[in-house]
Amino acid sequence: MTWTLARRAERLNPSIIREILKVTERPGIVSLAGGLPAAEGFPVEAMREAAARVLTEAPREALQYAASEGFGPLRDWVAAQLATQGLKVDADQVLITTGSQQGLDLAGKVLLDPGSRVAVESPTYLGALQAFAPYEPEFVPVDCDDQGPVPTELQAARGARFLYMLPNFQNPSGRCIGAPRRDALMAECLRLGLPVLEDNPYGDLWFDQPPAAPLAAHAPDQVLYLGSFSKVLAPGLRLGYVVAPKPLYPKLLQAKQAADLHTPGFNQRVVYEVIKDGFLDRHVPTIRARYKAQRDAMKAALEQHLPAGCRWQLPDGGMFFWVELPEGLDTLALLPQAVEAGVAYVPGAAFYASAPRMNTLRLSFVTVSAERITQGVAALGRVFQQALESQP
């Protein structure tokens, strides 16, 4: 063709999750694949009232071009909210983004050269790998145990531009890092001079007790923090934020201007109207209760239906179970059979920067009802049992 692509375009690839989601939109498929929040939990009434109020009280401001930094009162709210979690920042360190996915893109744009090293948990969030990949980094997977990344393994990441982590109910593993491991990890990062990109979309979705303080609270100048309204309100608003160390903020802001000028002011004002008077304190517990019940349903179904030799940890929050099948099973190869049997999941291989473990998979317990979860896991159990029996 007439067009010459940039070299980085080779690093852009179709999202396997989005491809799977297309298949699973067929009626009758129980999708445990997507990380779609339960739509029943969206605060529709509050949104409708807030939208009407914004378009009555400040319509022209909401519909006009606005500051790239974001809507002032919303930035103030974010800073105040983070303070309650032990992270003290100024509102002028907050940059409102078009979903926290944009925060990943901006971080990559400002911090990554071709060949730069980026340390990632193994497995890690696929969307982050996709956001960073076009900037052509070299990924350095950090070995994890069931407590999170192993601090002594960070040595191999020395000199990386940053360590990317999801400490709270990680996507895909569901694991929440406890306070002692956080202390040890941050001590090692400080020793190595290794900056951290802390991604926290799921931290509010705890079931029994909130997660430990953010990594950023340990070393505010060494941690770039990403937050999101997608899981506590609704993802279709595309509203997230970056909290940046002050020396880094101007470049991120300029990258934001170059990328989309600013995040829709209308959305920012609507969300601010919804949350400004403590709405989330009443609303988020209803999401937690719903997800906990669905987590319990999935736990019971996994115990009942998966063949012997399958392993998983019980997530204390978030949206996902991470399941390990007996060695030799390949979840990517088994997916068509699962879809045939009426259930979909994401093969774990998608979440590895390199050396994928083919016998892993991610199951979401938030999108479909407890009843459908049970039905889906039962079907999965049959597929895996059959695969085991036909192993050589």
Of 134 and 307, which CB lies nearer to a copy of itself in the complex structure?
134
In this complex, which beta carbon is closest to a copy of itself, that of residue 19 or of residue 340? 19
Q: Are 162 and 118 in contact (CB under 8 A)?
A: yes
- 372 vs 294: CA distance, rounded Å: 10
Q: How far is the CB of 26 from a copy of itself (least distance, A)?
A: 15
Interacting residues with a copy of itself between 182 and 201 (CB under 8 A) = 193, 195
Task: Kindly tell me which residue out of 24, 85, 101, 170 binds a copy of itself, with binding defined by CB under 8 A.
Answer: 101
Q: Please, what is the minimum distance in Å from the beta carbon of residue 11 to a copy of itself?
A: 9
Whether the Cβ atoms of residue 353 and residue 120 lie closer than 8 Å to each other: yes
Q: At which residue do the structure tokens 């400002």 appear?
A: 110
Binders in 36-95 for a copy of itself, by CB under 8 A: 36-37, 39-40, 42, 44, 47-48, 51-52, 55-56, 59-66, 68
Considering only residues 147 through 186, tell me which ones interact with a copy of itself, judged by CB under 8 A.
161-162
CA 377/CA 217 separation, integer angstroms: 39
Binding string, 250-269, against a copy of itself, x = CB under 8 A? Answer: xx--xx-xxxxxxxxxxx--
User: Which of the stretches 207-215, 247-255, 286-294, 296-304 binds a copy of itself when contact is defined by CB under 8 A?
Assistant: 247-255
- Smallest gap from residue 380 Cβ to a copy of itself (A): 23
Site for a copy of itself in 261-320 (CB under 8 A): 261-267
Binding segment (CB under 8 A) for a copy of itself, from list 112-120, 148-156, 166-174, 352-360: 112-120
| CA 160/CA 194 separation, integer angstroms | 7
Which one of 75, 109, 182, 218 is in contact with a copy of itself (CB under 8 A)? 109
- Taking CB under 8 A as the binding criterion, the range among 3-11, 202-210, 281-289, 356-364 that sits at the site for a copy of itself is 3-11
- Asked if 127 is part of the footprint of a copy of itself (rule: CB under 8 A), the reply reads yes
Give the residue with the Cβ less far from a copy of itself, 143 or 260. Answer: 260
CB of 112 to a copy of itself, least distance (A): 5
How many residues in the shown chain lie near a copy of itself by CB under 8 A?
Answer: 84
